[in-house]
Chains A and B, each alone.
Chain A
Amino acid sequence: MSPILFWILTILMLSFGASVVINRNPVASALSLVASFLCLASLFVGLDAFFIGVIQVLVYAGAVMVLFLFIIMLLDLKAENRRHFNKGALAGGALVTVGFVSQFLRVLESFKAGSKPFPALGAARIEDVRSVGNALFTDFTLPFQVVGVLVLVATIGVIVLSRRELK
C-alpha cells in the first residue's frame, strides 16, 4: 500500500471516528461510524487481508450498523439537548485519555522491532479465503463450534429480552 493512500485513509478513519464522539445527534454518529468502518476495511485490503476487509464491510458496515440505526429510529432519539456538564467527570475523562495516549506513544517509541518495513510476500497469489477457512476447520475447530453455540445463545437471549413482559 502506498504511504500516501495509507495516510489519507488513516486520517479519514480517525476524523470520522472523532466525529462519532463529537456529534450530538445519534444518527450522525452512526453514519460517521459506517464511514470510519469503510476506511478501516480499505486499510485491511491494503494489508492483503481481502477476506477480512469484505467481512468488515458486510458484517460491520452492513448488518451491525443497520441494527444500530434501526434501534436509534425505533427509540426515536432526538439530538441530545445541552445538559449541564459534570465538570469533574469531563476533566477526569480527558485526563485519563491523555495519560493513555502518552503512555501508548512511549511504548510505541521503544518498540524497535516494529520500525522495519513490511516484508514482501513470497507467494505468487494470495488465496486468503482458502487459508483462513483451512485454519478455521483444522486448528480452530473447537473455538469455531464454541462461537456457533455463542451465536445461538445470543439469539435466544435477544428473543427472551425483547419480549414485552419480563417475568
Chain B
Amino acid sequence: MTPLTLNHYLLASGLLFSIGFAGVLLRRNIITIFMCLELMLNAANLSLVSFSRFHVGPDGLPNYNAQVLVFFIITVAAAEVAVGLAIIVALYRARQTTHVEDIRSLRF
C-alpha cells in the first residue's frame, strides 16, 4: 500500500466539506442545516491539522500555529452553536416550526 500523503487527508477533508455543503443546500430542517455547518467547520479543522503535521519545523515538531488556529475555531464554533440554538428556540417559540420554508418574512 502506498504511504499516506497530504493529498489523502485533503481529499478526506474536502469530501467531508462537500457532504456538509450538500446538506446545507438540500435539507430544509434548520437544526439539520446547523449540524451540516458543524461538519463543514470540522472539515476545515482536518485540513489545518494535516498541514500542521506536514510542515515539520527544524526542531522536529509539527507546526503548532495551525493547531492554535484549530483551537480558536473550536472555541468560536462552540459559542456559535450556543447562540444559534438560542435563536432557533426563540424562533420556534414565535412560529412553532423549524422548517426553513415556513419562515419567509423578515419581521413578524
Listed in ascending order, the chain A residues whose CB lies under 8 Å from chain B are 1, 3-4, 6, 10, 13-14, 17-18, 20-21, 26, 29-30, 33, 36-37, 40, 43-44, 47-49, 51-52, 55-56, 59-60, 63-64, 67-68, 71-72, 74-75, 77, 80, 83, 86, 90, 92-94, 96-97, 100-101, 104-105, 108, 111, 113-123, 126, 128, 131-132, 134-136, 139-140, 143, 147, 150-151, 154-155, 157-158, 161-162, 166
Contact = CB atoms under 8 A, between A and B. Distances in A.
Contact of B18 (A60, A86, A97, A134): A97
Nearest to B29: A80
A132 B23 CA distance: 33
Contacts of A43: 9, 12, 46, 49
A121 B56 contact: yes
B90 to A, nearest CB: 5
Query: By DSSP majority rule, is chain B's interface helix, strand, loop, or mixed?
Result: helix
Given A68-B31, A122-B59, A161 B7 contact: no
Contact of B78 (A10, A59, A92, A100): A59
A111 B70 CA distance: 23
Nearest to B26: A93
Contacts of B72: 140, 143, 147
B3 A117 contact: yes
Contacts of A166: 90
Given A59-B78, A116-B5, A14 B25 contact: no
B23 A21 contact: yes
7 contacts: A10-B12, A52-B45, A60-B42, A117-B3, A118-B54, A154-B79, A161-B86
A44 B74 CA distance: 14
Interface of B: 1-12, 14-16, 18-23, 25-29, 31-32, 34-36, 38-39, 42, 45-46, 49-50, 52-54, 56, 59-62, 64-65, 67-68, 70-72, 74-83, 85-90, 92, 98-99, 101
Query: By DSSP majority rule, is chain A's interface helix, strand, loop, or mixed?
Result: helix
A121 B2 CA distance: 19
Closest 8 interchain pairs by CB? Answer: A122-B60, A93-B25, A154-B79, A114-B6, A21-B23, A123-B60, A161-B86, A117-B3
B13 to A, nearest CB: 9
Contacts, number: 235
A89 B99 CA distance: 15
B20 A17 contact: yes
A103 to B, nearest CB: 10
Contacts of B3: 3, 117-118
